[in-house]
Amino acid sequence: MHPWADVLLAEPAVDTGLMAPAGQLWSTTTDLARFAAFLIDGDDRVLHPDTVAQMRNPTSPPEATDWHIGYGLGMQLLRRDGRLLAGHTGSMPGFVATVWVSPDDALGAVVMANVTAGLSAGTLAADLLETVAEREPRIPAPWRPLPSIDPQLLDLAGPWYRGPAPYVLRPQADGFMELAPMSGGHGTRLRPTGDGDWEGLNGYFAGERLRVHRDADGTVSHLDLGTFVFTRQPYDPTTPVPGGVDPTGWQAG
């Protein structure tokens, strides 16, 4: 549009040369929606879902104050009303586009427009995600039993305590495990390392080793996740809880 008259102007095609990978990529809404689904679930033929999830981790520590905009591995990150969005905005003369996904809501939004300025495609895509998430609650995936499981994993499954804080450790269908707090706290997804240990893949414990300690008879004694000790009972006096345990601490007054 002409800025001062109701006249259409032809927008010339721009060849950005060496900068073409930074924006001169043409697609359709259907293909971008398919790409958004990939950014949520991954695809073992291309990238494992855990690898895609790692791409959503900030590449540098956020500011001391609550951060809202960041950058992962090839993805822009946006925190909006407690929701983490990942994707990217884009523009060329005459065109703007945005793909945002909200993995926690299993939602993606695509916005494309034939404008150079005047429309915030990033804001519109985020608004669309927020509207759908609030008005169309996510349908839980149907429950399915695990096809098989290592019996030793069942020895690890169930409640654990970091001091007095309750956690639960659950085996997953792909052979991984998930450690999650029963209330507020840090959790992580864990993958086997092949030597009896496990590695945290996301969140606070990303990159940390979980080691399973056993008694002489092979019974699991406690878990050590990056020096955080998890026991079957709160402050189990039989395990090396950091700082020790006051033997009178649980006596009724």
CA dist., res. 178 & res. 202, Å (int) = 10
State the pLDDT at residue 135.
93
pLDDT range class, residue 39, cuts 50, 70, 90: very high
Averaged pLDDT, 25-45: 93
Q: Is 170 or 139 the better-scoring residue by pLDDT?
A: 170
Per-residue pLDDT at 107: 95
For residue 150, give the nearest of 176, 183, 123, 184 by alpha carbon. 176
Here the tokens at position 84 are 């983490």
Cα–Cα dist 90/151, whole Å: 49
For the stretch 50-95, pLDDT in tens is 899 989 988 876 665 667 888 899 899 999 888 999 999 988 888 8
Burial category of 210 from C-beta neighbours within 10 Å (exposed 0-12, middle 13-18, buried 19 and up): buried
pLDDT of residue 247: 64
Residues 6+ apart with CB under 8 A from 236: 161, 222, 245
Q: What does the alpha-carbon distance between residue 82 and residue 176 come to, in Å, rounded to a whole number?
A: 27
Q: What is the pLDDT of residues 168-187, one digit of tens each?
A: 999 988 889 999 999 877 88
Q: Please report where in the chains the tokens 């006051």 appear, as a residue.
A: 246
146 vs 43, which has greater pLDDT? 43
Over range 34-51, report the average pLDDT. Answer: 92
- Dist CA 184 CA 165 (whole Å): 9
Q: Which of 33, 42, 73 is nearest to 189 (CA)?
A: 42
pLDDT, average across residues 9-27: 84
Q: pLDDT-based confidence at 250, cuts 50/70/90?
A: low
pLDDT of 229-248, one tens digit each?
999 998 887 777 776 666 66
- Quick one: pLDDT band at residue 203, thresholds 50, 70, 90? confident
- Tell me the average pLDDT across 114-142: 90
Order of all β-strands in the sheet with 220-225? 158-162, 165-171, 177-181, 188-192, 198-200, 209-214, 220-225, 228-230
65, with CB counted inside 10 A (0-12, 13-18, 19+), is exposed
Task: Write down the pLDDT at residue 63.
Answer: 60
pLDDT interval class at 26 (50, 70, 90): confident
pLDDT digits (tens, 9 = 90+) for 84-127: 999 999 888 888 999 999 998 999 999 999 888 889 999 999 99
Per-residue model confidence (pLDDT) at position 231: 93
Express each pLDDT in 144-173 by its tens digit.
888 888 888 888 999 999 988 999 999 988
